Structure 1
Amino acid sequence: MIAVISGDLIKSQKIPQQEYDDMLYQLDQSLRFIASKFNGRFSVYRGDALQIQLPDPTDVCCAAVLLYLQLKSANYSLRQSLAVGNLDNPRADIKTATGSAYTLSGQGLDTMNQRLLLQIEHCPLDTSFALNIDLIDVLLDKMSQKQANALFYYLTTHNNSHSELAKELKTSRENVTKLLNLAHYQLIERFLNYSKHTIAQQLKGVTT
């Protein structure tokens, strides 16, 4: 089984024409980072829409949250439909790949009204897991650009002590701590660890 993320930028049609190329560049760079970190593959279509294929389905929430934070750091907002399922027909260009992971992810994007949605084939989400995703959705929605940037660096930097992050972000340690606290960084970090464990456990139930 694999994971697929289908997503699009929110209100991208309102981006001024002179800023559109910058938006496409930022989207491409963010997707390249996620693909490299999680050994995934991606495709961009219709300008502001994307798909990512991940070989390890337990990474899907981590990848989605990091992608959201990186784009939010550039002042773009993203909605993402996450799905775990089968890959029936692998393709070099993932736009032409087929399988239940792609079907569920695409259908979810067409009907969702939040920023984050997860579906697992043949396995309804545990109630507590679904609630956690809804809560993370709210936290991401309320996060400021600076908070998202600090949290992204915290989650992706090897030495993520607040003093080291302050050097990276060219600000004070106190300000880094304030931004991370406002971003509820400990809750989100706990959720990412929880999501990997929970998806792995749910997939055991599907395959046994």
Structure 2
Amino acid sequence: MSITVLTGDIIESTKLNADLLEKVQRAIAETFSEISGWGTPARFSEYRGDGWQIAFENASLSLRAALIIRAKLRAIDRACDTRIAIAQGSGKLPEKIETTTDAAFVLSGRTLDQMQPAFRMASGNTPEMDAICILLDQIVSNWTSTQARTILPFLSPDDTPRQQDVAAQMGVSRQSIGKTLEAASYSYIIATLKLLEARQPHD
């Protein structure tokens, strides 16, 4: 069984007003709920006020889950963001992740602690995955709130929505959705995710 562990902390949480901080915390919790609906066991924990951890039994969707979290936060406000350390390992998902010392959890926490200040995403498993995280981080960090809101529904691992349906929900034209996705580098992101997910184990 493969386990993915995402460990993060909210960036400059003390500078966010109470309303924004609550929205950020809620968005991370909502992402956990979505992951739980992907047909895989998942666990969620918050700690130290601005820290959090999500673990689930699927290695292939690790980057997609991280990008969904980043998109949700940047959709709130460009001041809202989180660092995310990704680690994968084998084993069974523990009932309580707060006190576990399983290898994937330790690796994820250590990767977050050692993350370079300039970056907001990192992988603890391989240099190649870490390099992909760095490049994706550069793209995500340049998203506007509009771009984050627009790309978010297209990051779901379920069936890709039609642009005209998302446009109707957002009250804009389909052409506007297409241009915003292009500006957000959506085609490059989704191609990267599909390639990685096809090569990684799903259980």
CA distance in 1, matches of 2:89, 2:160: 35
CA distance in 1, matches of 2:61, 2:184: 21
Candidates 111, 114, 123, aligned match of 1:111: 114
Q: Does 101-110 or 17-26 show the bigger shift?
A: 17-26
Map 1:3-152 onto structure 2 (within 5 A). Answer: 3-37=4-38, 39=40, 40-75=42-77, 76-87=80-91, 91-113=94-116, 114-120=119-125, 124-126=126-128, 129-152=129-152
Q: 1:130, CA displacement in angstroms?
A: 4.2
Q: 1:19, CA displacement in angstroms?
A: 4.2
Secondary structure, counterpart of 1:96 in structure 2? coil
Are 1:38 and 1:59, in contact at CA under 8 Å, matched by a contact in 2? no
Secondary structure, counterpart of 1:21 in structure 2? helix
- Match for residue 165 of structure 2? 164
Q: 1:95, CA displacement in angstroms?
A: 0.8
Secondary structure, counterpart of 2:172 in structure 1? coil
Secondary structure, counterpart of 1:37 in structure 2? coil
Secondary structure, counterpart of 1:58 in structure 2? coil
Are 1:31 and 1:42, in contact at CA under 8 Å, matched by a contact in 2? yes
CA distance in 1, matches of 2:155, 2:19: 32
- Match for residue 180 of structure 1? 181
Residues 72-97 of structure 1: CA distance to partner in whole angstroms, max 9, x if unpaired?
21222111000012447x54221122
Are 2:11 and 2:81, in contact at CA under 8 Å, matched by a contact in 1? yes
- The code of the aligned residue for 2:149 comes to N
User: Any unmatched runs of 5+ in structure 2?
Assistant: none
CA distance in 1, matches of 2:14, 2:124: 28
TM (norm. structure 1) is 0.84
**CA 1:20–1:58 in 2, change beyond 3 Å: closer, same or farther?**
closer
Are 2:71 and 2:149, in contact at CA under 8 Å, matched by a contact in 1? yes
Are 1:9 and 1:79, in contact at CA under 8 Å, matched by a contact in 2? yes
Total equivalences in the alignment: 196
Q: 1:176, CA displacement in angstroms?
A: 0.9
- The code of the aligned residue for 1:44 comes to E
Structure with bigger RCO (C-alpha 8 Å, 6+ apart): 2
- The code of the aligned residue for 2:133 comes to I
Secondary structure, counterpart of 1:142 in structure 2? coil
Residues 51-77 of structure 1: CA distance to partner in whole angstroms, max 9, x if unpaired?
111101122111111121122212221
Are 1:10 and 1:79, in contact at CA under 8 Å, matched by a contact in 2? yes
TM (norm. structure 2) is 0.85
Identity of aligned residues (%): 25
CA distance in 2, matches of 1:152, 1:48: 23
Secondary structure, counterpart of 1:41 in structure 2? strand
User: Any unmatched runs of 5+ in structure 1?
Assistant: 201-208
